[in-house]
Amino acid sequence: MDKFVTFSFGFYYVIGVCVFWSNLSYSVATCTKEIVKQRHLTDEEGKKICGSYCARILFQTIIMCIFPGLFKLYLMINSSYNSKYIITSGLFTVIWLFITGAIIKTIYHIVCNKIEIFKEFEFDKYYQNKEFLWVTCPMLYGVLFNFYDNNYK
C-alpha cells in the first residue's frame, strides 16, 4: 500500500504540474500576442491582461501546493475510520470536497488580498469569470477521490 500511495502522490503531482504549465504557456502566449498587437499599452490595460491570466496561474499553483497534503490527510483519515463509520459510502468524500474547497478558496483569497504584490493586480476586478476556478477544483478532486475510492479499497 505504501508504494501505491507514493506512486499516487507522484502521479497526481505530475498532473498538477502539467495543468499549471499548460495554463502558464497559454497565458504567456496570449499576453505576448496582445502586447505585440497593441504595442503601446497603458498601465491599466497591462494590468487587465496580466491580472486575468495571472489569477488562473495563481489558482493552479495553490492547488498544486495544497493537493498532496490534503490527499494524504484524506487517506489517513479514511483508513483510520473506515471500519468504524460510514466513510466508504462516499459521504466522507463529498464532505471532504467541501472542506477542501473551503481551504483552497480561503488560501486563494488570502494570497490575492493580503500579499502586497498581488493586491496591485486587483484580480477580482479584472477576472470576472470565476466559474473556471470553482468548477475545476471540485471536478479534479472528485475524479481523483472517486478513482481511489472505487479501485483501491
Q: Name the average pLDDT for the chain.
A: 70
What pLDDT sits at residue 105? Answer: 78
CA distance 38 to 45: 10
Digit-coded pLDDT (tens) for 28-58: 667 666 665 666 766 666 666 666 667 777 7
∠ Cα 68 28 114 (to 5°): 55
CA distance 113 to 105: 12
Mean pLDDT is lowest, of 6-10, 38-42, 132-136, for: 132-136
Digit-coded pLDDT (tens) for 102-122: 888 788 788 777 777 667 666
Q: Which pLDDT band holds residue 1 (cuts at 50, 70, 90)? A: low
What pLDDT sits at residue 50? Answer: 66
What pLDDT sits at residue 44? Answer: 67
CA distance 130 to 90: 27
Report how many domains make up the chain: 1
Q: Which parts of the chain fold into alpha helices (H)?
A: 2-38, 43-81, 91-114, 116-119, 123-126, 131-151
Digit-coded pLDDT (tens) for 60-91: 777 777 777 777 787 777 777 655 655 555 67
Q: Residue 114 sits in which domain range?
A: 2-151
Q: Which pLDDT band holds residue 59 (cuts at 50, 70, 90)? A: confident
> Which of 152, 143, 120 lies closest to 15 in space, CA to CA?
143
- Report the length, in residues, of the chain: 153
